[in-house]
Amino acid sequence: MVLLQISEPGLSSAPHQRRLAVGIDLGTTHSLVATVRSGVAETLADAQGQHLLPSVVRYQADAQPVVGHAAAEMLQQDPLNTVSSVKRLMGRGVEDVKGLGDVLPYKFEQTQSDMPRIKTVAGSVSPVEISADILRNLKQRAEQSLGDELNGAVITVPAYFDEAQRQATKDAARIAGINVLRLLSEPTAAAIAYGLDQNPEGVYAIYDLGGGTFDISILRLHQGVFEVLATGGDSALGGDDLDHVIAEWIMLQDGIELAQDLCLQRRLLKLARDIKETLSHADSTEWTLERPQGGEWRGSLDRETLGELIAPVIKKTMLPCRRTLRDAGLNASDIQGVVLVGGSTRIPLVRRMVSDFFGQSPLDDIDPDKVVAMGAALQADILAGNQSGRDLLLLDVIPLSLGIEIMGGMVEKIIPRNSTIPTSRAQTFTTFKDGQIALSLHVLQGERELVSDCRSLAHFELRGIPPMVAGAARIQVTFQVDADGLLAVKAREEASGVESKVEVKPSYGLSDQEVETMLRDAIEHAGDDVAARNLREQRVDADRSIEALRSALAQDGEDLLELAEREQIETRVQELVTLRDGEDPLAIKRAIGVLNDATQEFAARRMDAGIHQALAGHRIDEFKD
């Protein structure tokens, strides 16, 4: 009998090749990898059955780096070669980490490059390479447990990550040999894990309290598309702070002197963390702690007392919640669902405060440690083409406005802060001087009006502009931010078609703290900025008038003006030049007006002369139609 291969209608005859795609949560404290099996997202465990991989890497002299639990255990013994919380250094420049030198235990190498490098026994390593070691470990875990080669990954990043931090994350993946299907913001991933993308519409809050950071994001789902309306948080607030509060309380209770002894301090912190985690599911707990001099301390704590201790720390998360809602132009009652993310949201008091603030019980049935990785896995599965017919377009926002420098040291914003991405916007500019054949463009990020108050991202030049009179060239500048949040800027002169572009890959980024500081500055200095802008605008106008008049005088001054007339105009120009350097925008404006009046006659003569010249050698009837 002949066996026929029968293919089902609608399916191709070749066996369906599933492409192995994973979601990776590259966290500050822990990292995870997840995938979709039989339509369900699940995190993958290592050989010991552990799902959470501590984001810690230890470098050794003659061996491969160790990643995860084994490295975390060596943090105290080998602090110089064991790196934790590297996420905080991603996308930062040498200048950015200089200030951290005293806080971090590592030694930074003195380098010429923009990227900081940490000295270890295995040579110096950059934050990107350290993250790559973590990613490589997760890639191996995925390939081992799924028995196939990895096709691609969706990697999550905080919603506020800027250009440099996103680029650094992508670079780390490339070094680890991972094909990045997309970078996805952590809150969006959490919303997807809860299937909120299946709802018709809605506004959601994602409350993420991890080990060392707090993030709050407001998302809007509209026609199947997530848009991050606003983000906020505190980059130095998390479970670690609770551990410290508890450790201090134990010292007070047990009459322990402020522990000079580093080893005792570490034991105390570890104990505090255990107590905290136990009291998330138990009503009370007891412990004993060995005294360094022998003997032991006994102690106990109940959940209520713990609550009193940690409430002030947890309350601190409410301020960014309020501010972020305000940024999004919403009230707590506008929020349709609240998602809990991060290990610290297991604490019952956190849940209670969050539900009081938003006036509703938060969504919490998915493990808050794993929810981000699971959402990323769902997205990866779609992007790898494993769920035919499903397409999800995810939008994020850019955290700070993007713009270019214009005359007078000011910033013209092209893409405003909180614009959803991907996005593309263009604006037309012109030349300032007659015969200008090159234009230098300076790309900036920030909310303030002055270049000196914003962050410089890139410089590039547009050359080959045909010589024209000032103001005649039309130069279109286009800013394009892709789905991963990376910026490309293009400048094009319309008449000649010459163009030039840069992909903005800054070598350093902004921390969320800096973003916040810059925002606060922008609000506080809004008044100063308007005045400063006004002054600069008047100066630019003055420069333009002076420049135009000088060029006209050089061309036609001799031929068209009497000496006395010429001297009078030059006096007016001189007056304007002097006022231009002063601080009074109104005086500059008036002087420009006076100069304009004084030169009316000259301008009229020039026009006549121009017409004469144009007509010279032609018979008048040539111009009749």
Catalytic residues: 25, 87, 186, 208
- Interaction of residue 88 with ligand ADP, rule CB under 6 A: no
Name which position in 92, 136, 170, 346 contacts ligand ADP (CB under 6 A): 346
> Three-state SS for 69?
helix
Closest CB to ligand ADP among 237 and 522?
237
Q: Which does 18 bind (CB under 5 to 8 A by kind): Mg ion, ligand ADP, none?
A: none
For residue 15, report the phi and psi dihedrals to the nearest 5 degrees.
-60, 140
Minimum Å gap between C-beta 211 and Mg ion is 8
Minimum Å gap between C-beta 341 and ligand ADP is 7
Structural contact between residues 423 and 481, judged by C-beta atoms closer than 8 angstroms: yes
Closest CB to Mg ion among 210 and 320?
210
Structure tokens at 316: 């601190």
- Interaction of residue 367 with ligand ADP, rule CB under 6 A: no
- Interaction of residue 28 with ligand ADP, rule CB under 6 A: yes
Gap between the Cα atoms of 119 and 313, Å rounded: 35
Closest CB to Mg ion among 190 and 561?
190
Residues contacting residue 435 through CB under 8 Å, at least 6 positions apart = 467, 468, 469
Residues 196-235 touching Mg ion, rule: CB under 5 A, are: 210
Closest CB to ligand ADP among 165 and 445?
165
Helices 303-315 and 348-358 sit at what angle, rounded to 10 degrees?
Answer: 50
Gap between the Cα atoms of 137 and 127, Å rounded: 16
Closest CB to ligand ADP among 187 and 210?
210
Q: What is the DSSP string of 546-573?
A: HHHHHHHHHHHHHHH--HHHHHHHHHHH
Q: Which does 29 bind (CB under 5 to 8 A by kind): ligand ADP, Mg ion, none?
A: ligand ADP
CA distances from 525 to 113, 444, 517 (A): 34, 18, 12
- Interaction of residue 169 with ligand ADP, rule CB under 6 A: no
Name which position in 347, 397, 441, 573 contacts ligand ADP (CB under 6 A): 347
Provide the 10 A C-beta neighbour count for residue 456.
14
Residues 10-49 touching Mg ion, rule: CB under 5 A, are: 27
Helices 600-615 and 585-598 sit at what angle, rounded to 10 degrees?
Answer: 50
Residues 211-230 touching ligand ADP, rule: CB under 6 A, are: 211-213
Gap between the Cα atoms of 571 and 91, Å rounded: 54
CB under 6 A: which stretch of 141-149, 340-348, 436-444, 470-478 binds ligand ADP?
340-348
Q: How many residues does the chain have?
A: 625
Closest CB to ligand ADP among 212 and 403?
212
Q: Which does 344 bind (CB under 5 to 8 A by kind): Mg ion, ligand ADP, none?
A: ligand ADP
Task: Please count the residues of this chain forming the interface with Mg ion, following the rule CB under 5 A.
Answer: 2
For residue 198, report the phi and psi dihedrals to the nearest 5 degrees.
-85, -15
Minimum Å gap between C-beta 188 and Mg ion is 13
Structure tokens at 586: 């109104």
Residues contacting residue 69 through CB under 8 Å, at least 6 positions apart = 48, 50, 53, 54
Q: Which does 405 bind (CB under 5 to 8 A by kind): Mg ion, ligand ADP, none?
A: none
Beta strand 337-341 pairing with 396-397: unpaired
- Interaction of residue 276 with ligand ADP, rule CB under 6 A: yes
- 422 prior amide bond cis, ω within 30: yes
Contact residues toward Mg ion (CB under 5 A) are 27, 210
Residues that bind ligand ADP (CB under 6 A): 27-30, 210-213, 238-240, 273, 276-277, 280, 342-344, 346-347, 369
